[in-house]
Amino acid sequence: MPDAAAEPGTAAARDAAEEKSALSHPAVEPDSTAGYGDHPDQVIDFYVPRGGTGPGEAAPVVVVLHGGSWRAPYDRRHISPFAGFLARRGFAVASVEYRRGAQGAAAQGTGGDPVAGRWPDTFDDVAAALDALPELVRQHLPRADARRVVLTGHSAGGHL
């Protein structure tokens, strides 16, 4: 029997292509990580700005929300190359993790499809992260201006 992932146009082939694309760039390690809640997924990775600002000038903060269809395998590591890119261009970066769909047997919905999302947990997590952000920026990004913030997201992160 042929491998379903090798059959063009199938859901398995689309999933395999998506995973290959999402994982094609090596992860960029953050400068620090801090929690904004009690759940293990309630963390923010911080990337210190590396250039772009003059001496004594505070960098703006870019809050990054990763995509991944709210599915558990796709976390903030997949957007870390983008976070590193922004930091190298002088932006302070806060990459927010949030609770996503369940893993393993609990992740299977009807028809064997993975369960995505954890409404309202995902939304609540982003709100809690933004509430905690000013203090965490002061602690982890001392060269950043927590009053100059832009929020960006990819896919599910853009929706949030």
Which helix (H) or strand (E) is 45 found in, with range?
strand 43-47
Higher pLDDT, 158 or 141: 141
**Residue 55: burial class (beta carbons within 10 Å; 0-12, 13-18, 19+):** exposed
Considering the domain boundaries, does residue 12 fall inside one?
A: no
Within a domain: residue 46?
A: yes
**Environment class of residue 45 by beta-carbon count within 10 Å: exposed (0-12), middle (13-18) or buried (19+)?**
buried
CATH number of the domain at 106, please. 3.40.50.1820
4 in a domain, yes or no?
no
Question: How many domains, the chain?
Answer: 1
Q: Is 10 within the bounds of a domain?
A: no
Give the span between the Cα atoms of 141 and 89, in whole angstroms: 15
The pLDDT assigned to 114 comes to: 53
Q: Is 104 helix (H, G, I), strand (E, B) or coil?
A: helix
pLDDT, mean over the chain: 83
pLDDT tens-digit profile of 23-77? 677 899 999 999 999 999 999 999 999 976 666 789 999 999 988 777 777 789 9
pLDDT band at 3 (very low <50, low <70, confident <90, very high): low
Q: Which domain holds residue 135?
A: 27-159
CB neighbour list of residue 23: distance below 8 Å, 6 or more residues apart: 78
Residue 21 lies in a domain: no
108 confidence band (pLDDT: 50, 70, 90): very low
Give domain status of residue 37, yes or no. yes
Nearest by Cα to 87 from 130, 140, 136, 19: 140
Cα(66)–Cα(5) distance, integer angstroms: 25
Full-model pTM: 0.78
